[in-house]
Amino acid sequence: IPNHYQDCVSTVLISHGMIMDRVQKLAADIRAAYTGKTIHLLCVLKGGSAFFQDLQVCLRNFHQFSKQESIPFTFDFIRAKSYAGTESTGTVKVSGCDLEKLKGKHVLLVEDIVDTGTTMSYLIPLLATYNPASLKVTSLLEKRTPRSCGFKADFVGFSVPDEFVIGYCLDYNDAFRDMQHICVISKTGIEKYKDGVPDS
Ligand code: PRP
Ligand code: MN
Ligand code: MG
């Protein structure tokens, strides 16, 4: 944990090493599920960006780490934002993607976490109207919470307890994305970054 976040973390939930191992295995599962197809990875910004980067490295380098061939993929980015502080506003703002280009593609959404499921429950029907050949979701984390709407991702890395988690691009008011482990935020962390990250 970097010095500037030391008092903001109550526990390290998933170490960076564990994340990397799991992403490698997820890449293998994804590769197997898309044999003979080209995957169109759609990274959900900003939270999904670290997972997306590591996942695409695994997919790209497959032939180096296993006896199997890599499979082709393309990618794009979409922005979806709904959180303020630790709470979902319930309203998902989507921007930054030409949805027309999804037509006929095997779209795989790359997310950091499915929490209440609000983001995915909004995004999936929206994207489906643009007629992709298939539409699936990989999420590094899924939260065990009574607030879940029941949405389940197709490829999940880890199930996490009902705590607010940060790090590896998961944020609290844009803070903590720059931490390599996935951690539970402390009360001090919530207080310290309640108005976001200071500019200077
Ligand atoms: C977070 C997270 C997921 C979503 C999960 O995004 O990255 O996209 O919320 O929560 P849900 O299942 O309750 O909808 P956020 O709105 O914080 O935007 P960000 O990715 O830019 O941080
Ligand atoms: Mn997000
Ligand atoms: Mg966020």
3-state secondary structure string across 24-36: HHHHHHHHHHCCC
Q: Which domain holds residue 67?
A: 16-160
Domain membership flag for residue 60: yes
pLDDT reported for residue 64 = 81
- Is residue 63 pLDDT above 90, yes or no? no
Domain membership flag for residue 196: no
Domain membership flag for residue 156: yes
For ligand 1, is residue 111 a contact (CB within 6 Å)? yes
- Is residue 65 pLDDT above 80, yes or no? no
Domain membership flag for residue 194: no
- Domain total of the chain: 1
ipTM: 0.98
CA distance 143 to 117: 9
pLDDT reported for residue 161 = 98
- State pLDDT tens for residues 128-144: 999 999 999 999 999 99
pLDDT reported for residue 22 = 98
Confidence of residue 1 (pLDDT cuts 50, 70, 90): very high
Residues 182/172, Cβ–Cβ less than 8 Å: no
Q: Residue 145 Cα, ligand 1 centroid: separation in angstroms? A: 15
CA distance 59 to 71: 7
pTM over 0.90: yes
pLDDT reported for residue 69 = 85
> In terms of C-beta distances under 8 Å and separation of at least 24 residues, what long-range contacts does 146-154 make, across chains too?
147/115, 147/116, 148/114, 148/115, 148/116, 148/117, 149/116, 149/117, 149/118, 149/121, 150/117, 151/114, 151/117, 151/120, 151/121, 152/114, 153/111, 153/114, 153/120, 154/33
The ligand 1 atom nearest the CA atom of 112 = 7
Q: How buried is 183 (Cβ within 10 angstroms: 0-12 exposed, 13-18 middle, 19+ buried)?
A: buried
**Side-chain half-sphere CA neighbours of 37 within 13 A:** 17
Domain membership flag for residue 187: no
CA distance 175 to 169: 9
Q: Catalytic amino acids? A: 115
Confidence of residue 35 (pLDDT cuts 50, 70, 90): very high
In whole angstroms, how far apart are CA 11 and each of 35, 115, 139, 140?
Answer: 39, 19, 21, 18
Confidence of residue 200 (pLDDT cuts 50, 70, 90): confident
pLDDT reported for residue 23 = 98
- Is residue 188 pLDDT above 80, yes or no? yes
CA distance 106 to 54: 20
Domain membership flag for residue 192: no
Minimum CA distance residue for ligand 1 atom 22: 47
Domain membership flag for residue 142: yes
Q: State the average pLDDT for the chain.
A: 96
pLDDT reported for residue 50 = 98
The ligand 1 atom nearest the CA atom of 177 = 22
Confidence of residue 62 (pLDDT cuts 50, 70, 90): confident
Domain membership flag for residue 5: no
**Residue of 83, 121, 162 with the most ligand 1 atoms within 8 Å of its CB, for mutation:** 83
- State pLDDT tens for residues 71-130: 999 999 999 999 999 999 999 999 999 999 999 999 999 999 999 999 999 999 999 999
CA distance 112 to 46: 9
Give the domain CATH number at 98: 3.40.50.2020
